[in-house]
């Protein structure tokens, strides 16, 4: 992503000087889901989890390795709500380069993920908030012509069962560098992750808030995001994908019918309140550190969970799969309740989305393009910690007070996760009052 931002500055020279810092997040709420930083949506179920907490404030990264800490300055620390981080990986398959360049990957269009970004070990261990501390999954193109060629080459269309090349591509083993498939990585952990109260694990990418509105698709206050599906497994063979929602429209209005123009622009932004259960929708760069939470109860009714193939109390693998954001890849909205159909006061109502949606994000990108995985951490969440900072205190009580006897989710104090904030939630909070996780 750093490369994408650098190129963005180069091709928009007149704004280059302004892109050395992250802009303020927009406070316009359009959708039903969380904002990209310290969430201010009143009922969002997926408030970002801070990577760092401490005297400098929630979600604020400490000074980098080359920054001098002056006497009297305070420095944040990794959020103690995390009880473990990914310790290994069993596969790393970046998106392929264009056919002539396979095995010759470089920092250039159609050349795949260059060696400098093929660093799966960067995805292990605690969050850092460092833009460079990432493992890049890469992006896929639609159709294209290389210089000097007069015929089209294809990537994404080969994933359509109606394409004549689909069968041959599907028959290639996953490990074949010629196979057209989105980039992915599967992470392992020292201890199983289980379905506890609230969010169970958090994924950190390196998205950032744009500070300018430009014809290239950037919107000031929105997030430059490269999104990914998240899947979990008990045995490393059978995976369940988290159901997701993406209501983002493409930059080009013709993108709804023209998949070669279906993204938000190569350097476009998304409104995070329109996105749910897709990794990458929270900012984790340029001094801010927020991750996307995932709650295993969201997959409790998946067929592989119901038949016992995946045990949500014994998750040993988490797989991250990049989403090339031209709209070809879809969400799973019809399996989720549309929060806008729920009465915000009584919590009554609630009906599922009536259709799935194409997923649009910054596309097409190259170099450090596609999803840039920074870290995945598991949470040992406790009742009462609404803001997921490892403490149960007045800040958590205040969240209950704001939504008292109204519809809410975990970030609003709904600790029994029944969609309503009431006396039972207050009792759960009081059972852990003044709890403080060790650093």
- 190 in Cβ contact with 84 (< 8 Å): yes
Question: Given this model, what pLDDT does residue 64 score?
Answer: 63
| Token representation of residue 127 | 């969050």
* 16 pLDDT above the threshold of 80: no
* 422 pLDDT above the threshold of 70: yes
Question: Given this model, what pLDDT does residue 72 score?
Answer: 59
* 382 pLDDT above the threshold of 70: yes
Q: If you write DSSP's letter for every residue of 321-382 in order, what string do you get? A: EE--TEEEEE--GGGSB-GGGB-TTT--B--B-SS--EEE-SBS--SS-B-EE-EEEEE---
Question: Given this model, what pLDDT does residue 373 score?
Answer: 98
Question: Given this model, what pLDDT does residue 431 score?
Answer: 97
403 vs 232: CA distance, rounded Å: 32
Question: Given this model, what pLDDT does residue 78 score?
Answer: 96
* Window from 13-22, 130-139, 296-305, 400-409 with minimum mean pLDDT: 13-22
* 6 pLDDT above the threshold of 70: no
* 5 pLDDT above the threshold of 70: no
Question: Given this model, what pLDDT does residue 215 score?
Answer: 83
Average pLDDT, rounded, for the chain: 91
Domain annotation for the chain: domains and CATH numbers: 2-381 (no CATH), 386-439 (1.10.1330.10)
Question: Given this model, what pLDDT does residue 267 score?
Answer: 82
Question: Given this model, what pLDDT does residue 279 score?
Answer: 98
* Span 142-161, average pLDDT: 90
- 334 in Cβ contact with 354 (< 8 Å): yes
Question: Given this model, what pLDDT does residue 26 score?
Answer: 82
pTM given for the model? 0.93
Q: How confident is the model at residue 18 (pLDDT cuts 50, 70, 90)?
A: very low
**Which residue is listed with tokens 């598991």?**
378
Question: Given this model, what pLDDT does residue 42 score?
Answer: 94
Q: How confident is the model at residue 17 (pLDDT cuts 50, 70, 90)?
A: very low
């Amino acid at each position: 992503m750093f490369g994408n931002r650098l190129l963005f500055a180069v091709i928009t020279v007149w704004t280059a000087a302004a892109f050395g810092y992250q802009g303020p997040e927009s406070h316009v709420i359009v959708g039903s889901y969380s904002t990209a930083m310290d969430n201010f949506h009143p009922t969002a179920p997926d408030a970002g989890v801070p990577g760092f907490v401490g005297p400098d404030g929630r979600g604020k990264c400490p000074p980098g390795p080359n920054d001098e800490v002056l006497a009297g300055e305070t420095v944040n620390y990794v959020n103690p709500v995390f009880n473990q981080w990914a310790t290994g990986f069993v596969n790393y398959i970046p998106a392929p380069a264009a056919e002539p360049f396979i095995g010759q990957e470089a920092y250039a269009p159609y050349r795949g993920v260059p060696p400098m970004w093929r660093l799966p070990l960067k995805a292990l261990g605690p969050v850092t908030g460092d833009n460079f501390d990432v493992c890049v999954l890469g992006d896929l193109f639609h159709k294209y012509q290389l210089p000097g060629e007069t015929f089209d080459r294809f990537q994404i269309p080969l994933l359509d069962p109606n394409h004549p090349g689909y069968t041959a591509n599907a028959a290639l083993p996953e490990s074949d560098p010629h196979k057209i498939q989105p980039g992915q990585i599967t992470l392992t952990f020292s201890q199983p992750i289980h379905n506890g109260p609230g969010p169970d694990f958090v994924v950190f990418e390196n998205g950032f808030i744009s500070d300018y509105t430009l014809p290239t698709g950037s919107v000031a206050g929105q997030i430059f995001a490269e999104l990914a599906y998240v899947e979990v497994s008990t045995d490393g063979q059978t995976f369940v994908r988290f159901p997701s929602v993406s209501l983002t429209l493409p930059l080009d209005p013709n993108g709804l019918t023209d998949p070669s123009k279906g993204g938000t622009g190569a350097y476009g932004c998304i409104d995070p309140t329109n996105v749910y259960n897709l990794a990458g929708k929270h900012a984790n760069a340029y001094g801010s550190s927020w991750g996307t939470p995932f709650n295993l109860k969201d997959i409790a009714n998946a067929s592989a969970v119901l038949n016992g193939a995946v045990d949500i109390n014994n998750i040993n693998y988490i797989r991250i799969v990049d989403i090339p954001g031209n709209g070809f890849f879809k969400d799973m909205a019809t399996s989720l309740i549309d929060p806008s159909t729920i009465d915000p006061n009584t919590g009554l109502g609630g009906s599922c989305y009536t259709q799935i949606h194409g997923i649009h994000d910054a596309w097409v990108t190259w170099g450090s393009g596609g999803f840039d995985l920074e870290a995945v951490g598991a949470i040992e969440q406790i009742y009462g910690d609404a803001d997921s900072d490892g403490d149960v205190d007045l800040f958590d009580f205040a969240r209950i007070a704001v939504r008292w006897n109204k519809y809410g989710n975990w970030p609003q104090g709904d600790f029994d996760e029944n969609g309503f904030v009431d006396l039972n939630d207050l009792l759960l909070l009081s059972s852990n009052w003044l709890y403080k996780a060790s650093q």
